[in-house]
Amino acid sequence: MADFDLVLQGDVVLVDRIVSSGYVAARDGKVVEIGVGEPPAARERHLLGNALILPGAIDAQVHSLSQKNQEDFIWSTRSAAAGGVTTIVDMPYDEGDLVCSAAAVKRKIEHAGSQARVDFALYGTVDPEEGPKRIREMVEAGAAAFKFSTFGTDPKRFPRIPPALLEACFAAIAPTGLTAGVHNEDDEAVRTYMEMVKASGVADWRAHGLSRPPITELLAMHTIFETGADTGCPAHVVHCSLGRGYDIANAYRRDGFEATVECCIHYLTLDEENDVRRLGGKAKINPPIRPRAEVETLWRKVSEGKVWLVSTDHVSWSENRKTNPDMLANASGVPGLEVMVPLFVKGALERGIPLTWAARLMAANPAKHFRLEHSKGALEPGKDADIVVLTPEETVYDAAASGNNVVSWSPYNGIKLPWKVAATYLRGELVFDGSKVLAEPGTGRFQRPLPRQVIAGERA
C-alpha cells in the first residue's frame, strides 16, 4: 500500500538549504515529509535525478484585467501554471472596475474563481474621491494588501494618491497589519522630465528612460517610507529598478520600520542599451529598464538580502499597444508569468547566487507578505503541496510557441534558458506536465489572508 499520494525525488530547494538527492512526499494535497535516501512508496512516484524541486512560486504582482477583453484569468493563470507559479496576487486596477470596495472584491473573487487554473489572492485600492473609508470593508472581504501610486497614469483607473491622502490610507491600513504597496514615481518630477523630453524632440527608445531618470523613483521612495514610518503601516515599494532604492529601504529597516522592496524579473534580465534599444515599446515599463550596470547591481542586492520579493508585474497588452514608434505613446508593462522562475534560476546560477534565494524571494517571502504562510510558500510539512520541477534542458524562449499566453510577443523571446519547467503541482495535483497545462478553469482557489490576531497571537 502506498504511503503517500505523491513523491518527487531530486535536488530539493528549501529557503535555507538544498537537499541533494532528497525527496518531497505529499498526501491529501499537503506536504508531509522532506527526506533523503530511498524515497517511500507513493501512488505517484517520480525519481527525477538532478532535477530541481522548488516550492511553487507566488507572483506578487499580476495585472490580469488591465486591458478589457484581452487576457483575463483564463490566460494569466494558464501562463502561471506553465511557469511554475501556483499562486498569483492580482492588482486592483482593472479596466472598467477599480477594486476599491468590498463589493468589487467580491465580484472579482467570483469572476476569477470560475476561470483560475492556479490559486489567487487580491489587492485592493481606493477611489481618491472616497478616500480610505472602504479599506476596512475590503479587509473583511479578503483583500491581501493594498496598492496605491504616487504617479497618476489615469485619474480613475490608475490614479495618483497625493501625500495627505496616502497618509490617511496608510493610517487606516496600519491597525489591520496588512501592507500598503505603492508605485514609486514622483508625479511632479516625471511630468516635468516628460515635457523636457518632448521639447527636445527625442521620441525613440531613449525617450522613456530620459523621461523617468533615477531621481523620480528615489524621491517617491522616500515619500512612501516616511509615510509608513509616520503611520506605523508596513510600507512596500512594488518595484524598484535602482540599487540605491534597496539601500534606502534597508536604512529604514535598520531604524526599526517595516520597509520592503520588490524587484521585478525584467529589472534582473533586461537592460536599456541593448534590450530597450532593440525592442522599443515592447520593453517600455514603469519605472524604466535601466543600463546593464544597474542590472548587475540589483543581483548584488539579491545576494546581500536587500530584496524582499521577486515578481513579474505581468500584463499582456495587445501588440498594437506596444509598437508605436513614439516610445512615450506605448502602454507600459510586459508579460512574464511563464518565464519568471527559469529566468531567475538562470541569472542566479550565472552569478553564483544560491538557489535558496529562489525559494525565499518567489515563495516564502511572498507568502509572509500577504499572510498566506499558513498554507503557502514553502516545502514544509502541513503546507500545500505546491511544487515546481525544473530539469536541465536548454530551451529558447518563444511565447507564441508554447501556446500558453494570450499574446505571442515577449521581451524575453530568444533568451536561452538552461533549466525548463518540467512540471507544476498545485496541492499535489499535476497542473502542467512540461508541455501542456492540464488544470481546468476553476481549479484555482481564492486565498484569504489569515487575520492579524491569528498570525501574531494578538487579541482581536
Cβ atoms of 60 and 309 closer than 8 Å: yes
Cβ atoms of 331 and 321 closer than 8 Å: yes
Which residue from 230, 223, 215, 302 is spatially nearest to 267, judged by alpha carbons? Answer: 302
Q: Does some domain include residue 167?
A: yes
Q: Does some domain include residue 306?
A: yes
DSSP class per residue in 137-198: HHHHHT--EEEEESS-SBTTTB----HHHHHHHHHHHGGGT--EEEE---HHHHHHHHHHHH
Q: Tell me, what CATH number does 123's domain have?
A: 3.20.20.140
Given a cut of 70, is residue 457 above it in pLDDT? Answer: no
d(CA 398, CA 359): 25
Task: Give one word for 339, left, alpha or beta, with left for phi > 0 and alpha for psi -120 to 50.
Answer: alpha
CA separation, residue 4 to residues 7, 62, 360, 381, 438 (Å): 7, 34, 26, 13, 22
Residue 312 has which C-alpha cell? 513579474
Q: What number of helices (H) and strands (E) belong to the chain?
A: 15, 19
Given a cut of 90, is residue 313 above it in pLDDT? Answer: yes
**Predicted pLDDT at 157:** 78
Q: Does some domain include residue 157?
A: yes
- Angle, CA 284 vertex, CA 353 and CA 219 arms, to 5°: 75
**Predicted pLDDT at 155:** 76
Average pLDDT over residues 68-90: 98
d(CA 242, CA 236): 15
Average pLDDT over residues 229-234: 98
CA separation, residue 174 to residues 91, 179, 231, 241, 318 (Å): 20, 8, 7, 27, 38
Q: Which residues pair with 314 in a beta bridge?
A: 62, 334
Q: Does some domain include residue 445?
A: no
Average pLDDT over residues 322-341: 98
**Predicted pLDDT at 223:** 98
Query: Whole-number mean pLDDT of the chain?
Result: 96
Q: Which residues, 6+ apart, have CB-to-CB distance to 202 below 8 Å?
A: 210
pTM of the predicted protein model:
0.96
Q: Does some domain include residue 396?
A: no
Q: Does some domain include residue 309?
A: yes
Given a cut of 50, is residue 458 above it in pLDDT? Answer: no
Helix%, strand%, coil% for the chain, nearest 5 = 35, 25, 40
Count of C-beta atoms within a 10 Å radius of residue 191: 14
d(CA 333, CA 312): 9
Share of the chain above pLDDT 70, in %: 98
Residue 424 has which C-alpha cell? 507544476
**Predicted pLDDT at 460:** 29
**Predicted pLDDT at 41:** 95
Given a cut of 90, is residue 158 above it in pLDDT? Answer: no
| CA 13 remoteness from chain centre | 20
User: pLDDT category, 154, cuts 50, 70, 90?
Assistant: confident
pLDDT tens-digit map of 400-456: 999 999 999 999 999 999 999 999 999 999 999 999 999 999 999 999 999 875 444
Share of the chain above pLDDT 90, in %: 95
d(CA 412, CA 26): 34
pLDDT tens-digit map of 364-406: 999 999 999 999 999 999 999 999 999 999 999 999 999 999 9
Cβ atoms of 173 and 180 closer than 8 Å: yes
Q: Does some domain include residue 28?
A: no
Q: Does some domain include residue 427?
A: no
d(CA 367, CA 379): 12
Q: Which residues pair with 388 in a beta bridge?
A: 54, 424
Query: Could you give the number of structural domains in the chain?
Result: 1
Q: Which amino acid is at 160?
A: R
Average pLDDT over residues 66-85: 97
d(CA 38, CA 22): 9
Cβ atoms of 20 and 65 closer than 8 Å: no
pLDDT tens-digit map of 126-147: 999 999 999 999 999 999 999 9
Given a cut of 90, is residue 30 above it in pLDDT? Answer: yes
Looking at residue 418, what DSSP letter applies? S
Strands 259-264 and 309-311: parallel
Provide the residue range defining the domain that includes 271. Answer: 56-369
Given a cut of 60, is residue 121 above it in pLDDT? Answer: yes
**Predicted pLDDT at 453:** 54
